[in-house]
């Protein structure tokens, strides 16, 4: 990797959770989606064409407006995806 701009792609879009998208700059965006754990294959390339591939594990949890509901999880911090492999 040359330190220049990086481009991110999902190599198997069928493995993305429904409602989740990965932008070309690596930013994840999500709409409401089912709870679950998803292993998403990704590839990142630099401006010279050097690429690396790996898997990002995405865990989604039930969120709801009822703060008293013990089944609900409430995120109050940024979410970071960590590549595996």
Q: Which two tokens stand for residue 40?
A: 């998403």
Q: In what order do the strands lie in the sheet with 7-10?
A: 7-10, 36-45, 51-60, 83-84
58-72 pLDDT per residue, tens: 887 766 655 566 666
Dump pLDDT digits (tens) for 10-33: 899 888 888 888 887 777 777 767
Region 38-47: what's the mean pLDDT? 90
Q: What is the pLDDT of residue 53?
A: 92
**Side-chain half-sphere of 1: how many Cα atoms within 13 Å?**
13
Contact 84, 56 (CB under 8 A): yes
Instruction: Identify the residue with better confidence: 18 or 1.
Output: 18
In the chain, domain spans: 7-84
> Residue 69 region, left (φ>0) first, then alpha (ψ -120 to 50), else beta?
beta
């Amino acid at each position: 990797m040359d330190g220049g701009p990086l481009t991110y792609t999902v190599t198997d879009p069928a493995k993305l959770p429904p409602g989740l998208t990965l932008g070309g700059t690596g930013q994840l965006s999500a709409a409401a989606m089912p709870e679950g754990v998803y292993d998403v294959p990704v590839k990142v390339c630099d401006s010279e064409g050097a690429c690396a591939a790996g898997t990002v594990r995405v865990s989604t949890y039930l969120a709801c407006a009822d703060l008293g509901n013990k089944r609900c999880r409430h995120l109050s911090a940024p979410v970071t995806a960590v590549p595996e492999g």
